Amino acid sequence: MDRAWNFSAGPAALPEAVLRQAQADLLDWNGSGASVMELSHRGKRFMELAAATEERLRRLMGIPANYRVLFLQGGATQHFAQIPMNLAPRDGSADYIVTGVFSRKAVSEAAHHVNANVAATSEADDFRSLPPRDTWRLDPSASYVHYTPNETIRGLEFHDVPDVGDVPLVADMSSNILGAPLDVSRFGLIYAGAQKNIGPSGLVVMIVRDDLLERAPQPIAKILRYAEQAKNDSMLNTPNTWGWYLAGLTFEWIEGQGGLAVMGERNARKSATVYAAIDGSDGFYRNDVQRSARSRMNVSFVLHDTALDAVFLQESEAAGFIGLKGHKAIGGMRASLYNAVSEPAVDELVKFMRDFAARHG
């Protein structure tokens, strides 16, 4: 069966090598006579896999020794609520930078557990730009500052790490983690849903500084407390063993590709190729995001005539492309260029876009 050119925003493409290894292991993983999904998470084989997976991620990202790596469940949305429970007293405050739908959702969920202050937002611009730094109203006594480095729906990205002083910086990196090198020491907590650059949905990878685990500001169930998960090596309850295993294969694949420096260079080339096709289309395609904030992971674009949207999607699917329909909140198209999306796939997309414009322009 031919594989599609997959530009889905999430769940998204996985490296073909990872899928083939998982396929080969499905009935007999690691000589166990069973799949990884059928074995105890407390057995020797899985415990070794868990330790190796964490160590590989630490190497890839250069995670300092004073940070814990957690493999959790619930998706990033659950942690919109769980983070303030763990990091802030109920009568305390936290600052939020709102640059899209997901950071806005983070504020909404956090507001049940902390005074969630919108310290900056670009909502008035319909999230087409980043709020200028001189407009940020940060509280030096806030428990943390939360932001979303890459917003998948509009395709808006911070290309640097904001300086927020001594307040811990918390980042929802669901859509750009592992996409380029990163100085983890700039953050208090990083979390990411796995379904874009890590593995299948249902797993959340969290990197949290030790001192933040010592906070116990709100009375919450043990299962929700990050310190308890860290104490139990992310196995306070039965974890997502399948997701953990696939994450490990993905980390191994990234290492084999040359690591995050290579991923960053490749992702920059891929996004530049698609943006060049949009900008060079004489108005047939258009991207409305501030150029300095354009995402390397999610390239959104509209056609000059919305009547052509359905035709574009129909013809692109017939040509072997999937996942190009834009989010319902803004319409149009979106090409997600995560690590597993190859440069040949991007070249094929651009070739199709140019051919479509020539035929329908």
Angle 343-360/309-318 helices, nearest 10 degrees? 130
Looking at residue 309, its pLDDT comes to: 98
Q: Which amino acid is at 102?
A: F
Looking at residue 285, its pLDDT comes to: 98
Angle at 4 between CA 243 and CA 259, to 5 degrees: 50
Looking at residue 1, its pLDDT comes to: 56
Which ranges of the chain have pLDDT less than 50?
none
Domains of the chain, earliest start first: 17-257 (3.40.640.10), 259-360 (3.90.1150.10)
Looking at residue 2, its pLDDT comes to: 85
- Residue 24 half-sphere exposure toward CB, CA atoms < 13 A: 9
Looking at residue 272, its pLDDT comes to: 98
Q: Which two tokens stand for residue 31?
A: 């000589």
Pairing, β 285-286 against β 298-303: antiparallel
